[in-house]
Amino acid sequence: MNKKQIVIIVAVIAVTGYLYSLPVKGLVKPKATRTNAGVAGGNAQASNISVATVSAAGKVAIGAALTAKINDLESQLKNAPENDKPALQKQLATQWDDDNQPAPAAFYYQAVARKDNKFEDWLNAGNRFNDSYKLTQDTASQALYTSSAAEAFQNALKLNAKSLDAKTGLGIAYVNGAGMPMQGIGLLKDVVKLDPKNVIANLNLGMFSMKSGQYEKAIGWFKTVIAIKPGFEPYFYLAETYKQLGKKTEAIAAYQKCKEMMPDPVFGQRIDEYIKELKN
């Protein structure tokens, strides 16, 4: 499975999770900004989160057949000489990627990067930690994932200061809680200035605008993404933004486009409920 497929699958899971966290009736309110005390509390609990704990959860998700492959690699890693461990950790990271489990993959990429200090490994670690953040509502996990993502992207930028992928990832991590949110927004805007068609930067600027209640700005970012690369994710968030503004006709049209691009019957049924509510 290539990185593009992994990103798409993570987006499906994240959007579906967001969708099912919302009531059918009523408008979605922006999430409250996390306080520094809340982040600190999460960091205090982060010591309980490790490659072992996230791997255990991942094995439950992927089932026995795929878990057997992971167990075999873990056994090899446990008994391997120190010099052979990075290669096995890389195999485990790749296997977890293939199984669509970014959290354990992130820890293994991080371990390899800390030993070999290669740009690609830091970038992979950071991206997987950012993906992991999107897939959990546990504040302790989120705090660890954002701080680990920031570390990874900072190290990646030390090796390649011009990397827009690393700068985008760092901006996302900062806004998610690893730094000052406006610092992260600034990084993402810098990326867009250099690369106006950067889908990830534009999409996240739209999402962060939506969460902060800047709905008109959010619409602009989402439309930019759709003009570059139409997909179910920007259409979904565009629909949510229109709904917040009371623009029912536009919201329904965006929901319908979202449904067309994500032909999952369960997902589609939930979208139909939102459309029905808007029509009433």
Mean pLDDT of the chain: 87
Both 138 and 215 in one domain: the answer is no
pLDDT category of residue 267 using cuts at 50, 70 and 90: confident
Both 23 and 60 in one domain: the answer is no
The predicted model gives 227-256 an average pLDDT of: 95
Both 201 and 175 in one domain: the answer is no
In a domain, 123, yes or no: yes
pLDDT at 46: 58
Residues 122-157 as b or e (16 or more Cβ within 10 Å = b)? bbbbbbbbbbbbbbbeebbbbbbbbbbbbbbbbbbb
SS3 track for the chain? CCHHHHHHHHHHHHHHHHHHCCCCCCCCCCCCCCCHHHHHHHHHHHHHCCHHHHHHHHHHHHCHHHHHHHHHHHHHHHHCCHHHHHHHHHHHHHHHHHCCCHHHHHHHHHHHHHHHCCHHHHHHHHHHHHHHHHCCCCHHHHHHHHHHHHHHHHHHHHHCCCCHHHHHHHHHHHHHHHCCHHHHHHHHHHHHHHCCCCHHHHHHHHHHHHHCCCHHHHHHHHHHHHHHCCCHHHHHHHHHHHHHCCCHHHHHHHHHHHHHHCCCHHHHHHHHHHHHHHHC
In a domain, 264, yes or no: yes
Q: Are the CB atoms for 48 and 145 separated by under 8 Å?
A: no
Spatial separation of the C-alpha atoms in residues 280 and 265, rounded to whole Å: 23
Question: Tokens for 120?
Answer: 């690609």
In a domain, 184, yes or no: no
pLDDT at 37: 37
In a domain, 186, yes or no: no
Both 143 and 50 in one domain: the answer is yes
Predicted model pTM: 0.84
The predicted model gives 81-99 an average pLDDT of: 95
Domain boundary among 151, 179, 207: 179
pLDDT category of residue 40 using cuts at 50, 70 and 90: very low
Both 13 and 50 in one domain: the answer is no
Number of separate domains in the chain: 2
Both 109 and 196 in one domain: the answer is no
- Tens digit of pLDDT for each residue in 135-176? 888 999 999 999 999 999 999 999 999 999 999 999 999 999
pLDDT category of residue 17 using cuts at 50, 70 and 90: low
In a domain, 40, yes or no: no
Higher confidence at residue 18 or residue 80? 80
Spatial separation of the C-alpha atoms in residues 259 and 280, rounded to whole Å: 19
Residue 54 has pLDDT above 50, yes or no: yes
Domain boundary among 130, 151, 179: 179
In a domain, 243, yes or no: yes
Both 230 and 173 in one domain: the answer is no
The predicted model gives 68-73 an average pLDDT of: 96
Domain boundary among 179, 199, 231: 179
Residue 36 has pLDDT above 50, yes or no: no
pLDDT at 179: 82
Both 198 and 171 in one domain: the answer is no
Residue 227 has pLDDT above 70, yes or no: yes
Both 200 and 246 in one domain: the answer is yes
In a domain, 62, yes or no: yes
Q: What is the CATH number of the domain that holds 253?
A: 1.25.40.10
In a domain, 136, yes or no: yes
Which residues fall within 8 angstroms of residue 261, CB to CB, at 6 or more apart? 230, 231, 232, 235
Residue-number span of the structural domain to which 267 is assigned:
1-30+191-280
The proportion of the chain whose per-residue pLDDT surpasses 90, expressed as a percent, equals: 74
Poorest-pLDDT segment among 33-42, 63-72, 199-208, 259-268: 33-42
Higher confidence at residue 146 or residue 19? 146
Higher confidence at residue 206 or residue 28? 206
Both 217 and 163 in one domain: the answer is no
Both 278 and 195 in one domain: the answer is yes
Both 167 and 71 in one domain: the answer is yes
CA triplet 154, 157, 160: central angle to 5 degrees?
A: 160
Which residues fall within 8 angstroms of residue 257, CB to CB, at 6 or more apart? 230, 235
The predicted model gives 189-215 an average pLDDT of: 95
